[in-house]
Structure 1
Amino acid sequence: MCFQKTDDPAWHADAVYQLYAQNEAQDEYSLCWRDRIVYIDFEGIPAAEQIAIAVEKLSK
């Protein structure tokens, strides 16, 4: 297993890494901003609406 960088702008983060296992995307992410790093584990690959809610909560 390893984290791979993704260029998904939906996260509004400086860098986003998604966990991969056996070349399959998993539901775990590391989100990086200048002053913090957040690890988030969803129950399945998140839909755009779930990402938007996470971004809203994390931006406060």
Structure 2
Amino acid sequence: MEKGILRTAGTEEKGEYQIAGLMPAVYDVSVELRGFQPQVHKGVVVTVGETVIVDFQLKVS
């Protein structure tokens, strides 16, 4: 597993985001927003030719 890959993305009106061009691998996906608790989804598997959906439900901190 590669280490140290960092990509950032903003969301649009509906809160959706997209991170394109990732190599097939297993990733930890995290979100942070001021006023909310940070969250992490560990072990997200990205494969060739597949769209992976990772949903977060942010909680007020």
* TM-score category of the 2 structures, normalised to the smaller one: 0.3 to 0.5
Query: Structure 2 length normalisation: TM-score?
Result: 0.41
More strand by share: 1
